[in-house]
Structure 1
């Protein structure tokens, strides 16, 4: 697998975590579906927990081969409505994510606007690495963070069943992406385990010297 494919695989794993807002329960009913490289989807209706909203989660992923969207409809907690975040990976890979909500049965929320990330370094640095054959990677170099990305992230993906794969990526992220922590996804043939861990980014040596 070439480096661009490795990066795209790892970013896709992260995006699945970002879109994982489905919850069990009964109250409002919402559509549940997901699509890759599209900004719409069709699927079945699912009951939601009390206090939930119908949520659209939208991510734009760029692993170096051009940006492409990932779109999901689901039940989601109201306190996640309007969430926006970003993550940057080694070699220029990025994930932009946003959510929007509505609160009537089977409503389809408007497509949320994605955050605008400044390309300018923010003076912070994080360890970076990317692998496609393990769910952990040893940092190989430091990367400069940008915009509001002030956390260092490790995203680990492991899929078992009909399809087996694992990947890991380290880079920079905004704090709200770090709040996702862990999600497990099941279907008839595969089990996916997606984990995120974070720590605060460190001040780069050049920034420290200028203080």
Structure 2
């Protein structure tokens, strides 16, 4: 079970939010609003926020531009993860991933099962690492974004979360998780047990 390590400092991350929608503008973008509020409440920085249509190449263009920026460590993408002909976010993102974070989609669907039942199988939430930038894609409803942030991302983007978090993946100078460093005490060794280095 994950827990917060009191002796580890919080590390704010630069996060960009991309809403994928053919119909929403900023006035109707409740999901983008929610993600922006949640991440700033957690003391991260909202670096940029954009809306693009459901189009593979426009999604890739924005993500590729953000990935090379030093002030952005995480990209949150909402929308376009369903099964309609216009839902192309996974197809846009997965070819860009150096490493996929398979457990993110698995855990997201497990958490959303509680609220939407078996309809969760139609969610194609995906995540991956592009160079040193993490990208998390989730469905476009505010409820789904809250599930992703509250149930997964808030903890995994917090350097204090043990036994493991993603901060060391995007900020290599930060303190690695217990499982990624030589354990200095039996309690640290136990905390990293079962996590691949």
TM over 0.5: no
Q: Rg bigger for which structure?
A: 1
Give the helix-richer structure, 1 or 2: 2
The answer to which structure, 1 or 2, has the higher relative contact order (CA under 8 A, 6+ apart) is: 2
Compute the TM-score of the two structures, normalised by the length of structure 1. 0.26
More strand by share: 1
Q: TM-score, normalised by structure 2?
A: 0.27
